[in-house]
Amino acid sequence: MRLIRYGFRRHATYWAAALAGAFTNTVFGILQAYVLIALWSTRPGLGGYDLADAVTFCFLAQAYIGPMQVFGGGLDLPERVRSGDVALDLARPASLQLWYLSEDLGRAAYLVIARSVPPTLVGALVFGIAPPAGPGTWAAFPVSVALAVLVSFGWRYLVALASFWVLDDRGLAIVSLIMTTFFSGLMLPLVIFPGWLGELARALPWAAMVQVPADVYLGTTSIGGALAFQAFWALVLLGLGAFVTAAARRKLVIQGG
């Protein structure tokens, strides 16, 4: 809990950047909303969404950018590997993965307040986005968001760990950005992807970051199935992260003689 609070306070110092991000998310949310309104006006019921669902999804996706760190990054592990400071991190009597996860949870909690709430409120005022239907959805939605943060961290942590083996991780970061942006549902709801592409996109871990929590909010999916899907990918990615961390620790010892 102490590290979670530290992560919250650390990112709360950058309030101006958070406000700028919230403003940007709001503007892009409004622009994307008008695009989706035009699309759903010509194709009503597309992907099983009505027009209100599509507009609500748009602002939810913008609200998830900060907490889920959809554009990647958020972890200083690659920089610490390049500087050699990671040796101090590995010497701590604590799990490297758990240490970074705790700080990331604090970061996500702050950005939910600073970057997720403003665009959602603007969307509600301007477009009248739909609220969750029923107490079951209200209860499941924060659980789904928390699981989405875990999946996001699990993926970003694996990408960051690659810096133990590659000299420059920027190429991997760009690939991660493209995959996450496209397959999470940030650009367009995955429900409108056709055929096998849609089935594949909805089965990949990136869907757990944006599409699934949005569907839980909208009530367009089975809550139990959605949470199970997110929990599965969170366990898989965190488990892989623990395995790769152990391999990275051995590699660092070997390189150090």
Say whether pLDDT at 123 is over 50. Answer: yes
Distances (CA, A) of 4 to 9, 67, 76, 212, 242: 9, 14, 16, 25, 19
Beta strand ranges found along 13-131 (DSSP E): none
For 50, the 3-state DSSP assignment is coil
Q: Which tokens go with 184?
A: 């999470």
Say whether pLDDT at 47 is over 90. Answer: no
Say whether pLDDT at 251 is over 80. Answer: no
pLDDT cut 70: percent of the chain above it: 97
List, for residues 188-229, the tens digit of each pLDDT value: 899 999 999 999 999 999 999 999 999 999 999 999 999 999
Q: What is the pTM of this model?
A: 0.91
Length of the chain: 257
d(CA 19, CA 5): 20
The structural domain count of the chain equals 1
Spell out the residues 6+ positions from residue 54 whose beta carbon is closer than 8 angstroms to its own. Answer: 36, 37, 39, 40, 46, 189
Of these ranges, 16-30, 166-180, 215-229, the one predicted with the greatest mean pLDDT is: 215-229
d(CA 158, CA 240): 8
Average pLDDT, the chain: 89
Say whether pLDDT at 178 is over 50. Answer: yes
Spell out the residues 6+ positions from residue 193 whose beta carbon is closer than 8 angstroms to its own. Answer: 201, 202
> pLDDT value at position 257?
45
pLDDT band at 253 (very low <50, low <70, confident <90, very high): low
Domain assignment of residue 21, given as a range: 2-255
Say whether pLDDT at 154 is over 60. Answer: yes
> pLDDT value at position 252?
65
List, for residues 7-17, the tens digit of each pLDDT value: 787 767 877 88
Say whether pLDDT at 177 is over 60. Answer: yes
Q: Which tokens go with 78?
A: 């690659």
> pLDDT value at position 21?
86
List, for residues 51-97, the tens digit of each pLDDT value: 999 999 999 999 999 899 988 887 888 888 888 888 888 877 778 89
Say whether pLDDT at 234 is over 80. Answer: yes
Say whether pLDDT at 134 is over 60. Answer: yes
